[in-house]
Structure 1
């Protein structure tokens, strides 16, 4: 929950972990409005807690992530292709 991020960061810092940023994967429903809202909320949390990194966005939602302030994107599918489906 967003309201618990500060407590989580504090607990990590108490353990000597230097929290540099936050990461999120956008919704899988491919709704650009919901994706933008999710990324905007993450960026607000990063700013609120004075963090430097905001990792969000993958190949399919790269443009929205960059527009919303991502500092790190994951574009493996664009570079290496889609992963094969695993048998169920």
Structure 2
């Protein structure tokens, strides 16, 4: 399994969650098998997301989509408060 991990600061979790939920179909179409949303216990304005994919190529493709179609447009990522940090992992 391959996991795309994304972390970034946010301005408001409820606003961020609405935007995230609005991309459910895009995640499904991209082959996301499952996801986890996590928040640090000491920072309400930060979020981490793990998206599971069947292949590295699928994760890379969705990351390209996020960079060009979501994060580049403040209307589509209204709660983003900083540059997302990303990394793709494979199960060992």
TM-score normalised by structure 2 residue count: 0.29
- Tell me: higher relative CO, structure 1 or 2? Use CA pairs within 8 A at least 6 residues apart: 2
- For normalisation by structure 1, the TM-score amounts to 0.30
Which structure dedicates a bigger proportion of its chain to strand? 2
Structure with higher Rg: it is: 1
